Amino acid sequence: MILEFTVGNFLSFKDKKTLTLEAGSIKELKDNVVREGKYKILRSAVIYGANSSGKSNFIKALEFMVKTVKNSSKHNSTDKLNAKPFLLSTETEDKPSYFEILFLSEGKRYRYGFELDNNRIHSEWLYIQEKDSKKEILYFIRTLEGIGVADIFEDAKGLEGRTRDNALFISLADQFNSNIAQVVMYKISFTKILSGIEHEESISMTSAIYNYDDEFKDYNYRPMLNKFVAKLDLGFQNFNIDTNDDDDFKTRLKTIHNKYDNKGSLNSKVEFKMNESESSGTNKIFDLSGYIIWALDFGFPLIIDELDAKLHPILTQQIITLFNNPETNPKNAQIIFSTHDTNLLSSNLFRRDQIWFTEKDKYEATDLYSLLEFKDENGKTVRNDRSFEADYIKGRYGAIPYLSNFQEI
């Protein structure tokens, strides 16, 4: 499970900002918290903010880290790293971007991160805290001067001089079958980031699950998919997949509707093409459903930008509830998403430490803060009995657009 993610000097993030999923010392909605050893971890987090405030940039930062880790071994020595520093300051435009993630695996806490610019890795590090320890152990640290590997990281010894300037050391260690590196690569690589707006590509997972592709042939996912779709009451009784293999999966999807006679009696069944006859919201739900089922069954993190786009608020609430409820989420999957849907703030879905905001300062740099840590002008924190939605819309917590008087335009 993810404990923290920190980004600095990337897109609109000038300074280092951290989203933490460690639960605060508050008592509401206890089911939303997972206890793993000495840690209390949140099952979900939601990010609010005005347009262009940095919500999507935070998710892009996490996606950038995941892709960099996954693809590092594929680079050749001349490949660029696609760094995107904060360009609105002379202080940062030529500095490296910063990424760090903390996660748990089998009770151990891993802290891995790196700094990079477009040409090379500037620094990289890995610390691990054992289950019953209060102290982190350094496994390796990298600077521009070189890489230092601790004795405890024995299976990565000797690889220091074989690491290219534009490649991650953890990726090289993984290639040489280091068990520790494999854990880091696995946990980061299986953090899935999706777009809630450009969601069409996500159908690939739904297709793989339905068709029992090789990686899913041992999992009985098709009944889970049917049950998930039925529970959401999308206006059709069931769905079928046309057997015409010449078309792609989405084109072959058919929804099944009841047809009635003039007396209201069931007359027959009618099939409609999903992509032609059903709403954009229904198509989105179906596109994302494979990844939702996959994340819940394996206990992986799922990150979605603009989860609420095209969806009725009740459907969005249903998806969140699947992750917050320990009965439907026994493997402790996590969901982090951005949204503009303020209805979620009044639905008793989130604790104060699960609600996050992005807001830009006068220099166009993004700030990131939680409702739990927010303090008003009198230095007071937000009480749990406040109306979070009403307060947010009124601008009490910031992170909303400030509009000019349109009558003057």
- The residue extents of the domains of the chain are 2-191+300-393, 200-284
Below-50 pLDDT ranges, the chain? 406
pLDDT at 245: 62
Tell me the two tokens of residue 374: 């927010």
The string of DSSP codes covering 227-283 is HHHHHTT-SSSEEEE---TTS-HHHHEEEEEEEE-TTS-EEEEEEEEHHHHS-HHHH
pLDDT value at position 277? 86
pLDDT at 34: 96
The reported pLDDT for the residue numbered 336 is 98
Contacts of 94 (CB under 8 A, 6+ apart): 85, 117
3-state secondary structure of 365: coil
User: Is 98 in a helix, a strand, or coil?
Assistant: strand
- Tokens 């937000």, residue located: 382
pLDDT for 77: 86
Output the pLDDT for position 404.
52
Residues contacting 216, CB < 8 A, separation 6+: 208, 209
* All residues at 6 or more sequence positions from 188 whose CB lies less than 8 Å from its CB, including other chains: 65, 66, 69, 70, 101, 103, 112
**What beta strand segments (E) does 276-330 contain?**
301-305
**Confidence at residue 402, expressed as pLDDT on a 0 to 100 scale:** 59
AA identity, residue 380: K
User: Could you tell me how many helices (H) and strands (E) the chain has, helices first?
Assistant: 10, 18
C-alpha 53/C-alpha 307 separation (Å) is: 17
> In this predicted structure, what is the pLDDT of residue 255?
86
The answer to whether 184 and 171 have CB atoms below 8 angstroms apart is no
pLDDT at residue 130 in the model: 94
Fill in the amino acid letter for 390.
A
Tell me, what's the pLDDT at 398? 81
Cα gap 85→91, rounded to integer Å: 11
Q: How far is CA 328 from the centre of its chain?
A: 19
Per the structure block, which two tokens stand in for 182?
A: 């494999």
Instruction: Report DSSP state, residue 123.
Output: E
Provide the β-strand partners of residue 73. Answer: none
Instruction: Give the residue from 311, 236, 313 showing the smallest Cα distance to 277.
Output: 236
Nearest to 311 by CA among 291, 287, 282: 282
The class that CATH gives domain 2-191+300-393 is alpha beta
Token reading at 57? 């940039």
345 Cβ contact partners less than 8 Å away, ≥ 6 residues apart: 48, 355, 388, 389, 392
- Whether residue 174 contacts residue 89, with contact meaning beta carbons closer than 8 Å, is answered with no
Q: Which of 163, 147, 144, 174 is nearest to 77 (CA)?
A: 163
Q: Give the DSSP H or E segment for 182.
A: helix 179-189
Nearest residue to 120 via CA among 161, 83, 173, 71: 83
Alpha-carbon span 365 to 54, nearest angstrom: 8
Contact 90, 82 (CB under 8 A): no
CA dist 84 to 70, 96, 290, Å?
A: 18, 9, 31
